[in-house]
Amino acid sequence: MLQLATAISKSEIADNIYELVLKTALGKYTLRPGQFVHVRVSKSVEHVLRRPISISNIDKGNNEITITFRAEGPGTKKLAEIKEGETVDVLMPLGNGYNIESAKAGEHVLIVGGGIGVPPLYELSKQLHERGVKTTHVLGFNSRKDVFYEADFKAFGETYVATADGTYGTKGFVTDVIGEIGTGFDKFYACGPKVMLKVLDETMPMDGFISLEERMGCGFGVCYACVCDTKDGRQVKICTDGPVFEKGAVVL
């Protein structure tokens, strides 16, 4: 589970959004879209907690994964300082990931991402596309400077962008775009802020899957930091039981 990876390349793809390509032996793993890595941002004990970051692209043949994160606090800012060739200590792969068998070839699904929730959906869309599933994407960001991966998603299917301040694409939220294009899809897959997931969870008429975010301690089920309640009265851990849950399963 503990892997040492080498940083192959790093790039800032939007305002404070970084893409880090890591090389590490992937042979023994079955990786699923929606899984995450728990990254130690430095060797010192200044940062005792790892940072959970989604895998946005898997290149098994080359033993490479891409992680995409926002440099927001001191920990992720330190991670953004990593230079090519440096070693990165990761726990992986963590979490359940999306069940791609849930969509069949020929089906048309809606993929909805908000902000830093967008990255894991790229690998998901890629794998669904490879399985012959048609994908339409709706991506929401705060502003034009925050937009990323639009062209990458376009390669797989129709892609709409909404910005909260209207500086790019549709002015408003992902729900405003969905209001225009309708909900005539077989399934939906979403990752983003809890408010966005809550609205989708309550209003989407079709089956779907949402991926949650929470502050984590250990990342592998030990510390009980990232729990949430299920609608049938149980408690689940986002790190090991999730982060992906079926529509309607958890209390948001």
Per CB under 8 A, the list member of 216, 244, 249, 252 interacting with another protein is 216
Closest approach of Cβ 90 to another protein, in Å? 12
Q: Between β-strands 51-59 and 36-40, what pairing exists: parallel, antiparallel or unpaired?
A: antiparallel
Q: Per-residue contact track with another protein, 5 to 44, x per CB under 8 A? A: -----------------------------------x----
Residue 38 structure tokens: 């728990």
CA distance 108 to 90: 35
Annotated binding-site residue? 93: no
Whether residue 32 contacts residue 98, with contact meaning beta carbons closer than 8 Å, is answered with yes
Residue span binding another protein (CB under 8 A) among the ranges 24-32, 105-113, 159-167, 209-217: 209-217
Q: Does 195 bind another protein (CB under 8 A)?
A: no
Integer distance in angstroms from the first to the last C-alpha of the chain? Answer: 30
Closest approach of Cβ 208 to another protein, in Å? 23
Closest approach of Cβ 134 to another protein, in Å? 36
Q: Does 222 bind another protein (CB under 8 A)?
A: yes
Per CB under 8 A, the list member of 49, 71, 100, 164 interacting with another protein is 49
Residue span binding another protein (CB under 8 A) among the ranges 25-33, 102-110, 119-127, 211-219: 211-219
Q: Which residue in 35, 29, 32 sits closest to 239, CA to CA?
A: 35
Annotated binding-site residue? 172: no
Per CB under 8 A, the list member of 14, 228, 244, 252 interacting with another protein is 228
Whether residue 25 contacts residue 3, with contact meaning beta carbons closer than 8 Å, is answered with yes
Residues lying near another protein in the complex (CB under 8 A) are found at 1-2, 40, 45-50, 75, 91, 214-229, 235
